[in-house]
């Protein structure tokens, strides 16, 4: 992980976009039928320092469920997912959520969630000394986008207004 400073001056550890977590969701399922996928969140919380903490639990045509395990001090880049809405519920710990606008700065506790619009920039951070576990639901487009994620670069980067409603 590299250490960088954002345009807002916040110092953080960045998870490399090329490092992906555990996508083998089928082995985590307790029951799978033609209409159901049943999993346990507590049974699948794992810490792997060689990944970004992404643990896929289900996968369907239009949505997938994931848990994100953020170690103390871990955060991702300011980014968005073109055409994909994301819901993050804090299952364990605390999440600091940042957006591009000054009023988009909030700390969520266990049991609280955020629903993020498609193509909208956000950053997730665990700024505590404890583990943070998020339950995530992400929608999927009928046709995969050309790029599944854009990282925000304040100087000469992607203009976030150009992505809304893609």
Residue 107 pairs in a beta bridge with: 96
User: What whole-number distance in Å separates Cα of residue 89 and Cα of residue 112?
Assistant: 6
Average pLDDT over residues 28-49: 94
Percent above pLDDT 90 for the chain: 65
User: What are the residues whose beta carbons fall under 8 Å from the beta carbon of 92, sequence distance 6 or more?
Assistant: 45, 110, 131, 132, 133
User: What whole-number distance in Å separates Cα of residue 92 and Cα of residue 108?
Assistant: 10
- Beta pairing, strands 150-151 & 79-80: antiparallel
**159: pLDDT strictly greater than 80:** no
155 is in which domain, residue-wise? 2-162
Q: What is the CATH number of the domain that holds 50?
A: 2.60.120.10
Which pTM value belongs to this model?
Answer: 0.78
| Count of domains observed in the chain | 1
């Amino acid at each position: 992980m590299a250490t960088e400073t954002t345009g807002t001056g916040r110092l953080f550890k960045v998870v490399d976009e090329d490092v992906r977590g555990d996508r083998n969701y089928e082995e985590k399922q307790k029951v799978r039928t033609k209409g159901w996928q049943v999993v346990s969140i507590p049974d699948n919380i794992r810490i792997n320092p060689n990944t970004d903490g992404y643990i896929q639990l289900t996968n369907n045509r239009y949505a997938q469920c994931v848990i994100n395990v953020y170690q103390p001090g871990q955060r991702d880049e300011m980014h968005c997912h073109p055409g994909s809405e994301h819901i993050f519920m804090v299952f364990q710990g605390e999440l600091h959520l940042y957006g591009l606008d000054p009023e988009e700065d909030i700390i969520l506790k266990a049991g609280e969630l955020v629903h993020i619009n498609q193509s909208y920039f956000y950053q997730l951070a665990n700024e505590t000394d404890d583990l943070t576990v998020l339950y995530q639901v992400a929608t999927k487009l009928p046709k995969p986008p050309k790029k599944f994620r854009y990282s925000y670069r304040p100087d000469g980067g992607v203009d976030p207004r150009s992505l809304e409603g893609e």
